[in-house]
Amino acid sequence: MPTTELSTDVALGVAIPSRNARGRIARLGSVVDSILAAHEYPPAMENLLAEALTLTALLGALLKEPEGQLTLQAQTEGGVVDLMVCDYRGGELRGYVRHDAERLIDLPEQPTLQDLFGKGYLAITFDQPVAKERYQGIVPLEGKSLGEAAQSYFAQSEQIPSLVRLAAEKRGDSWTAGGLLLQHLPEGEEGRERLHTRLDHPDWPHVAILGGSVKPEELTDAELPLDALIWRLFHEEDEVRTLAAIPLSRGCRCDRTYVRSVIARFPADERDAMVGDDGLIRVDCAFCSSSFSIEPTELT
């Protein structure tokens, strides 16, 4: 029986054991709205960040440790977007985009990755502090969509055949974004070292065709529980398992003490230059737009 609490602001693990496939499916509603509410982005940037946050949730849900952190960062040269950062920790998501508003106006309504990022790179960092594992992979931001770029990340950096689909849609004042990630892991979710992955293994194209048939409007349909959608795609398989659902929320980790410690590390003359007309140093969090006013005397 599909459960309605698996509709939005949640990520769900999926396993198709007989096909050696695993995956994650996620949908974001109010989490995206509350993250976007801290900014005043034009629609194309809201759409981009909604998809990027969904990708961040899918990748973050792969972390084994609750303390683990996943960071997605787009670095660009000559693009309309010059920086995009999203991160995930314990189901908490945050993100922001820095872009050139004047150049964005000249872009087509459905900008390509090339339009948005120019010569861009996508850096994905998995950080699992308990196991002391930190892994970063970087791929060019190429292809038609952020989903395609993420697929190349897995193909190039991890040699794992993967399928990534992302979609975002605004209805009225509210965004819904959804995503599906599927991977071919012959040795399963846990356990033995992967010795060899045959890219032409017949199980994988089968899973990729079924998964790839998911429609953007299914991913963004907040009335359609994620387990019902997985069932719709894979009900003919011998066995489809779902793993524990991960609730997703908006979370920012900025705090006054941290901001003060960062400012305190600047040399005195640079700190003096930061003081505004009101005698305070003002620092805005790029993620959540919180503003911190620091008395220069606090720093000594």
Distance CA 252, CA 205 (A): 39
285 binds Zn ion (CB under 5 A): yes
Q: Does 287 engage in binding with Zn ion (CB under 5 A)?
A: yes
Which residue number, 88 or 153, has a Cβ lying nearer to Zn ion? 88
Tell me the window of 36-44, 215-223, 227-235, 250-258 that interacts with Zn ion (CB under 5 A).
Answer: 250-258
User: What one-character-per-residue DSSP string does 140-190 give?
Assistant: E--SSSHHHHHHHHHHHHS---EEEEEEEEEETTEEEEEEEEEEE-TT-SS
Stretch that binds Zn ion, among 26-34, 161-169, 184-192, 253-261 (CB under 5 A): 253-261
Residue selected from 252, 274, 275, 299 as contacting Zn ion according to rule CB under 5 A: 252
- Determine the interface stretch with Zn ion among 165-173, 193-201, 213-221, 247-255 (rule: CB under 5 A): 247-255
Considering the rule CB under 5 A, would residue 288 count as an interface residue with Zn ion? Answer: yes
Written in H, E and C, the secondary structure of 231-275 is HHHHCCCCCCEECCCEECEECCCCCHHHHHHHHHCCCHHHHHHHE
Q: What angle do CA 253, 153, 288 make, to 5 degrees?
A: 20
Residue placing its CB nearer to Zn ion in the complex, 155 or 252: 252
Is there binding between residue 164 and Zn ion (CB under 5 A)? no
- Indicate whether 243 belongs to the interface with Zn ion (CB under 5 A): no
How many residues touch Zn ion (CB under 5 A)?
Answer: 6
User: What three-state secondary structure class fits 286?
Assistant: coil
From the list 103-111, 148-156, 179-187, 290-298, the region that binds Zn ion by CB under 5 A is: 290-298
In angstroms, the CA 46 to CA 86 distance is 13
Tokens of 228: 């019902």
Binding residues vs Zn ion (CB under 5 A): 252, 254, 285, 287-288, 290
